[in-house]
Structure 1
């Protein structure tokens, strides 16, 4: 989880491969109306995200054996909604500065998310400090290091269950 440009998709894909898990790419499940709003530089509202979160929750619930979901999950209420759909769900928060997020999003080609929306992501973000089952990592670290840290944490977390 994290703001646009933090590396959710790259890390999610790498962790899924390392863990032999299914990957659910959250961006693939936004309705057309959400994608259109983001392309036009309009921030999504809680109401816009509601159906998307329901879809992601259903996908998580359909695979209780474990999977990796990439999703911004910017607000605590969004994370709680996903936890309700998949008890024991854990989050990796990829922490990134506003400037670095802006730089990364502006550099992406062929993505529906407008770089003008980075500020709204930070305005919406409720950092997950103090929430159970959250690992916070510096999103600027190399992908392989992040993958190794997440995989080791996931193995430890799931062995304690």
Structure 2
């Protein structure tokens, strides 16, 4: 459902063919730019949420820098940038992602706690913080690792090592 604050804007735009054409062109340009620059597909609702696009539709001069800044604040783009920063090893981005994942968990009703944990785990995986980085063990070949595993007597330890080495 469209937020209440944009209902008036949508009514104004829909009542004028000139504004409808202008908004359509701005939305198409913005969606194309987001796809090319960030690899993210925006929706019309995302574009409507950008104040600079609404202002430009109504006749203000479009400020590209402000448009880019506001576009980066959209959740789909901010998550995309956050994920790239985490993949690059940025610890500050990791801290921001952890805050985002854990936001609001204190106020979740106990009957919904399992759903909330699943949501947080899913979000963490999407951002790239739930999976450990791959272990760099180039010293041993796959065959050497299998030979070493055969020497491990405890089945649980054998399986754990096989998983750690990427053999399972």
TM-score range, shorter chain: under 0.3
TM-score, normalised to structure 1's length? 0.24
TM-score, normalised to structure 2's length? 0.23
Q: Which has the higher helix share?
A: 2
Q: Which has the higher strand share?
A: 1
- Which has the greater radius of gyration? 2
Structure of higher RCO (CA pairs closer than 8 Å, 6+ residues apart): 1
